[in-house]
């Protein structure tokens, strides 16, 4: 059945192994960010069991609910909504937080269920997405001391996801300074200093990540072998772990642009339409594996390809394979119209 995403689990495990070994060499642990798997429990179970990874992160608590039975620590890496506090306390062992009101809601819920919910407090270090500045961070820590349902499990930061601000020796030094202030205020060290995502790989590989950082959260680099922002693979990465396959539903010779009437056109192009579209994927994030084929344009349900350079190799019913960037892959893996096929 098409369209489908072919998934190469061995390639994912290969990337995970390299990154995990690098983290361990540098005294860090790695949590796998599973959001791209769209709650597919069997895949997460397989990857965690084979790799021995003991903690996973997801941005959606509903995905964590699918992983409830799996014997791994589950981190919610998008700040919880107050309205989902019940679900978060039930399905997430840990959540990243930056708002006192949310933490208070988690505290009340945890107390009601006779639980302690672990939180990682997020610091703002320059990317301007989630995270507190120093003053608020210390105020939250003070308040948390009085909360019986909350354990501060760590301090974290996130870069490169919103403004493509990369981890640097400067912003990581600022992060470590905030961590030390937080520990001073708390009176003891935190278990996890969670320093970043796949964009931290160049610093990790070159040994420049501060030794205080003992935890990283990796998604894109494990699944696609790619370092975000740099947009290049890390050394020895496997990059073809997810291939989108779509079927040709029309093949005709047409003018290269709509302004040229067909009968006047001396340069007709062979155009193939495949049955997948903007409703399923981000067309800008697609690239065809066969370099002779060009993507012309797309609409909600169609992607139009120029296959002139392929001779007679492409027909109606042919299957075309595409690589996807991470955003496109996220769309594909959460589209109900695209199935997965494990190789
Ligand atoms: C807070 C947080 N940590 C880690 C990640 C993983 O990022 P990456 O896929 O670049 O490794 C993300 C994004 O998915 C995130 O939002």
Asked whether residue 4 is domain-assigned, the answer is: no
Ligand 1 proximity of 159 Cβ (cutoff 6 Å): no
Report pLDDT for 309: 98
Q: Which of 75, 197, 203 to mutate to test the pocket of ligand 1 (most atoms within 8 A of CB)?
A: 197
Q: Are 138 and 191 members of one domain? A: yes
User: 263-316, pLDDT tens digit by residue?
Assistant: 877 889 999 999 999 999 999 999 999 999 999 999 999 999 999 999 999 999
Number of structural domains the chain divides into: 2
For 87, phi and psi rounded to 5 degrees? -65, -40
User: 71-111, pLDDT tens digit by residue?
Assistant: 999 999 999 999 999 999 999 999 999 999 999 999 999 99
**CATH no. for residue 279?**
2.40.37.10
Q: Are 219 and 266 members of one domain? A: no
Asked whether residue 3 is domain-assigned, the answer is: no
Q: Which of 58, 119, 158, 233 to mutate to test the pocket of ligand 1 (most atoms within 8 A of CB)?
A: 158
Structural domain including 269 reads 242-342
User: 143-154, pLDDT tens digit by residue?
Assistant: 999 999 999 999
* Residue nearest atom 2 of ligand 1, based on CA coordinates: 77
35 is catalytic: yes
Ligand 1 centroid, distance to 159 Cα (angstroms): 9
Q: Are 30 and 135 members of one domain? A: yes
- The Cα–Cα gap between 66 and 307 comes to 41
Asked whether residue 69 is domain-assigned, the answer is: yes
Ligand 1 proximity of 220 Cβ (cutoff 6 Å): yes
User: 275-287, pLDDT tens digit by residue?
Assistant: 999 999 999 999 9
Catalytic option among 22, 35, 74, 118? 35
Asked whether residue 2 is domain-assigned, the answer is: no
Ligand 1 proximity of 157 Cβ (cutoff 6 Å): no
> Counting atoms of ligand 1 from 1, which one is nearest the CA of 223?
9
Ligand 1 centroid, distance to 129 Cα (angstroms): 12
Integer CA distances (angstroms), 295 to 156, 258, 300, in order: 40, 16, 15
Q: Are 214 and 249 members of one domain? A: no
pLDDT of 164 over the 80 cut: yes
* Residue nearest atom 1 of ligand 1, based on CA coordinates: 77
Strand ranges (DSSP E) for the chain? 4-7, 29-33, 55-58, 73-76, 94-97, 117-123, 150-157, 192-194, 215-218, 226-227, 232-233, 242-254, 269-274, 286-288, 294-298, 303-306, 319-324, 339-342
Q: How confident is the model at residue 22 (pLDDT cuts 50, 70, 90)?
A: very high
> Counting atoms of ligand 1 from 1, which one is nearest the CA of 96?
1
Report pLDDT for 262: 81
Ligand 1 proximity of 198 Cβ (cutoff 6 Å): yes
**CATH no. for residue 87?**
3.20.20.10
What is the distance, to the nearest Å, from the Cα of residue 9 to the centroid of all Cα atoms in its chain? Answer: 16
Residue that has been written with the tokens 């639980």 in this structure: 115
- The Cα–Cα gap between 271 and 307 comes to 6
Ligand 1 proximity of 197 Cβ (cutoff 6 Å): yes
Helix residue ranges per DSSP H, the chain: 9-25, 41-51, 61-66, 85-91, 100-112, 134-144, 169-186, 201-205, 220-224, 326-334
> Counting atoms of ligand 1 from 1, which one is nearest the CA of 158?
1
Asked whether residue 193 is domain-assigned, the answer is: yes
Asked whether residue 181 is domain-assigned, the answer is: yes
pLDDT of 336 over the 90 cut: yes
pLDDT of 260 over the 90 cut: no
Ligand 1 proximity of 33 Cβ (cutoff 6 Å): yes
Q: Are 263 and 145 members of one domain? A: no
Residue that terminates a domain, selected from 207, 233, 259: 233
Ligand 1 proximity of 228 Cβ (cutoff 6 Å): yes
Ligand 1 proximity of 176 Cβ (cutoff 6 Å): no
Residue that has been written with the tokens 């506090």 in this structure: 85
Ligand 1 centroid, distance to 220 Cα (angstroms): 8
- Average confidence score pLDDT of the chain: 96
């Amino acid at each position: 059945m098409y369209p489908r995403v072919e998934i190469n689990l061995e390639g994912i495990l290969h990337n995970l192994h390299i990154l995990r070994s690098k983290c361990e060499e540098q005294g860090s642990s790695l949590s796998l960010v599973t959001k791209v798997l769209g709650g597919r429990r069997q895949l997460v179970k397989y990857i965690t069991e084979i790799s021995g990874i003991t903690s996973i992160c997801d941005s959606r608590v509903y995905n964590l609910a699918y992983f409830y039975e799996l014997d791994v620590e589950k981190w919610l890496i998008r700040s919880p909504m107050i309205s989902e506090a019940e679900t978060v306390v039930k399905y997430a062992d840990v959540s990243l937080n930056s708002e006192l009101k949310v933490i208070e809601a988690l505290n009340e819920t945890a107390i009601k269920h006779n639980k302690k919910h672990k939180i990682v407090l997020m610091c703002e270090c320059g990317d301007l997405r989630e995270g507190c500045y120093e003053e608020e961070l210390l105020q939250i820590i003070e308040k948390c001391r009085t909360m019986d349902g909350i354990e501060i499990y760590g301090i974290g930061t996130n870069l490169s996801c919103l403004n493509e601000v990369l981890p640097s020796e400067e912003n990581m030094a600022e992060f470590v300074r905030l961590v030390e202030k937080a520990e001073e205020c708390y009176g003891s060290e935190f278990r996890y200093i969670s320093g970043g995502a796949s964009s931290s790989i160049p610093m990790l590989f070159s040994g420049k990540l501060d030794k205080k950082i003992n935890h990283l959260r990796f998604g894109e680099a494990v699944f696609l072998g790619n370092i975000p922002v740099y947009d290049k693979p890390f050394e020895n990465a496997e990059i073809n772990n997810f291939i989108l396959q779509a079927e040709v539903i029309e093949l005709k010779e047409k003018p290269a642009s709509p302004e040229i009437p067909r009968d006047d056109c001396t340069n007709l192009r062979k155009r193939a339409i495949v049955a997948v579209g903007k409703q399923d994927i981000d067309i800008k994030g697609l690239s065809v594996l066969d370099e002779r084929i060009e993507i012309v344009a797309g609409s909600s349900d169609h992607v139009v390809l120029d296959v002139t350079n392929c001779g007679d190799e492409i027909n109606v019913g042919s299957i075309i394979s595409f690589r996807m960037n991470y955003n496109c892959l996220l769309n594909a893996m959460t589209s109900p119209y695209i199935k997965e096929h494990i190789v």
